[in-house]
Structure 1
Amino acid sequence: MVAEIVVTVIGRGPTLSQELKDEICTLLNALEDVKIESESVLSVRAQDYFLTTSKDASSIRKLVDSFNVDGADIVAQENSKFRKEKGLVVFDMDSTLIYQEVIELIAAYAQVEDRVAEITERAMNNELDFKQSLTERVKLLKGIKTATLYDEIKAKLRVTKGVPELCRGLKKTGCKLAVLSGGFTPFANYMRDNLELDYARANVLATETDSQSQVEVLSGYTLGDVVDGECKAETLLNLAREYGVSVESTVMVGDGGNDLPAMAVAGFGIAWNAKPKVQQAAPSKLNTESLQDAFYIFGYTDDEIAELLK
């Protein structure tokens, strides 16, 4: 059966050079059982190539991943109505919606950020079970005073470039938005409120009263179910049912190994400036400076994006 696949090339610089476009065309034309039917310019930085082939999108993705093209991301997907018609987009928080890892910001208060960062790195590379890594990291936070902690951390959060625009534009199309975080509830809720998302879920830090100072401190463990990869996948599917949207119209955007299960069950997934192992396993990868570039993956031109952001 012949399928139509769209390959999107997104430049990481200010323009997509003609030289790079020619290189992509040459590489695509060299693929067996692949024919370029047409091309479409999305932006001076992004271009679509529409292919006919008997191969599926996953097979084409593996082939284009082997191109090793410098200065651009190449995304292959089925050219269906769901490319643009998104019903639910779910975001990871740490290193996705925001630049930082919140647990490392908290760890600085106990001067254990290096130890926490090392465990985080292993977990995000999928080298360590997320629940185990969370337990180890949260244990190091025991005894930190909470009175002003959350407000101080919120003031330090830096929203990733392009996130407000992407969220605003998607909401204008009627798309539901959620944040599912392996981080902590106060900050996920803060991002939900600031970005006007529809849903937030994260882990809950337990607290206790210090016996000597009689002030509230972190207990060194979390309460309730851990928001790990499996939880993210299950919650994404539950939200799709709750909002009445098809799974094909859902997207998971994240940077860590614990985002891969949700990408696997969603209609599509985007690894955002992710660890190498995550980029290899994800349905697509985006390594630009602005998450607004996800609009190109969804098939929007610059003119259409400008209209959404009015």
Structure 2
Amino acid sequence: MVEYVITYIAHGDELKDSEVKGLTSDIESRLKVAPVKSRRLGLRAYDVYFELSTDDLKPLLADIIDSAQGIDVIVQTDGTNRQDKKLIVFDMDSTLIYQEVIEMIASYADVEDKVRDITNLAMNNEIDFKESLRQRVKLLEGLQMDSLYDEIKSKLLITNGVPEFCSFMKKTQGTKLCVLSGGFIQFAEFIKGELEFDYARANLLALDDNGRLTGETIGDIVDGQCKAETLLQLCQDYDIDVASSVMIGDGGNDLLAMAAAGFGIAWNAKPTVQKKAPCKLNTKSMKDVLYIFGYSDEEIKILFP
């Protein structure tokens, strides 16, 4: 038998008992088995545990997960790895920060709409990421970047709850924190420094002798395959069990790394990504990932009273 934990996380201020009862009843009816235990994690989150012989529970509950209004339903196996997260890898754009940096750069070249359209195709897995990056970077050719790096960095907004979430994991688990971005290394390194991360990898824009973009990148492209391979390499480098690793991102190019990691979380992601990812989280604060890891409000308040 496999013990599963199903976590309900409300998008709003409260997860009502009636909502817990309704979701649990629907799941019981689908599985034809009663939960073995349950516990409230806090005002907005609740855990329900089931024991089943199936090796993959999520497909059996897909329609319930998709139809829950204002509540994320996360399915995972229960065990020591739930809280024992030693490596967390993040996408950057629209994950660690609210913006898409390449669109911010594009606004200075008056091609923001064109770049955004291509970005959306890539994030929905409707176009190969490498090809999408090539097309978008080409649109930036000739832009003088020397004076723009610092200006754009000053405008970057870190996602709500990210600093608290990362601080909690470092202090309680000694977690290694890394950013793997399909964006650009100058900004990934900046975010790494701001959040005191351990590692950053991203793409490098090519400049001519006058500091203008050539419309190309230098070196290997950080696409989905690269993110997956790098995550596994980081596990090896840090001597971390892959089962204790997590990938958090919002785009189609994050799915391979989510599959390679011990667990993956689609953070306010594109609809197609939410369906394919191990789980989805659509709340307003990244700190809510702590509920997925099984931490209660009381445990969280020890560090953040």
Q: Give the TM-score range, shorter chain.
A: over 0.9
TM-score between the two structures when normalised by the length of structure 1: 0.96
CA distance, structure 1, for counterparts of residue 170 and residue 78 of structure 2: 22
Give the alignment's Cα RMSD to 1 decimal.
Answer: 1.0
Partner of 1:265: 260
Aligned partners of 1:83 and 1:298 also within 8 Å? yes
Determine which of 244, 251, 260 is the counterpart of 1:249.
244
2:25 aligns to what? Answer: 26
- Report the equivalent of 2:104: 105
**For residue 17 of structure 1, what is the aligned residue in structure 2?**
16
1:194-227, Cα deviation, whole Å (9 max, x unpaired): 0000000000000003xxxxx3111110000000
Query: Aligned residue for 2:271?
Result: 276
- For the residue of structure 2 that corresponds to 1:233, the secondary structure is helix
Q: Over residues 112-166 of structure 1, what are the superposed CA-to-partner deviations in whole Å (9 max), with x where a residue is unaligned?
A: 0000000000000000000000000000111111221110110110111000111
Taking the TM superposition and a 5 Å limit, the aligned residue runs for 1:153-192 are: 153-172=152-171, 173-192=173-192
AA of the residue aligned to 1:206: A
Q: Does 1:137 align with 2:151?
A: no
SS of alignment partner, residue 34 of structure 1: coil
Instruction: Indicate the SS of the match to 2:96.
Output: coil
* Alpha-carbon distance in 2 for matches of 1:143, 1:171: 42
Offset at residue 33 of structure 1 (A): 4.7
In the TM superposition, residue 31 of structure 1 has moved relative to its aligned partner by: 2.0
Give the conservation status (yes or no) of the 8 Å contact 1:65–1:74.
Answer: no
1:65 paired with 2:62, answer yes
Show CA shifts across 1:48-102 (max 9, x none). 001011112x3x2123331111110000000010000001000000000000000
Q: Show the counterpart of 1:233.
A: 228
TM-score, structure 2 as length reference: 0.97
Distance 1:287 1:297 in 2: 12
Bigger CA drift: 30-39 or 64-73? 30-39
* Letter of the 2:198 counterpart: D
Cα distance in structure 2, aligned partners of 1:178 and 1:267: 15
Does 2:300 correspond to 1:308?
no
Contact persistence 2:30–2:61 (CA under 8 A): no
- Between the aligned residues of both structures, percent identity stands at 53
Please, which runs of 5 or more residues in structure 1 have no aligned partner?
210-214
**Could you tell me which amino acid in structure 2 is paired with residue 62 of structure 1?**
P
Whole-Å Cα distance in 1 between the matches of residues 300 and 278 of structure 2?
Answer: 23
Structure 1 segment 45-56 matched on structure 2, within 5 A: 45-56=44-55
Identify the residue that residue 199 of structure 1 maps to in structure 2: 199
Aligned partner of residue 213 in structure 2, secondary structure:
strand
- How many Å separate the matches in 2 of 1:205 and 1:135? 11
Per the TM alignment, residue 307 of structure 1 is displaced from its structure 2 partner at its CA by: 1.7
Residue deviations 1:239-285, cap 9 Å, x none? 00111110000000000000000001100000000001000000000
Q: Using the alignment, how far apart are the partners of 1:33 and 1:87 within structure 2?
A: 35
Q: Which sections of structure 2, spanning at least 5 residues, go unmatched?
A: none
Stretch deviating more after TM superposition (258-267 or 30-39): 30-39
Shift of 1:304: 1.0
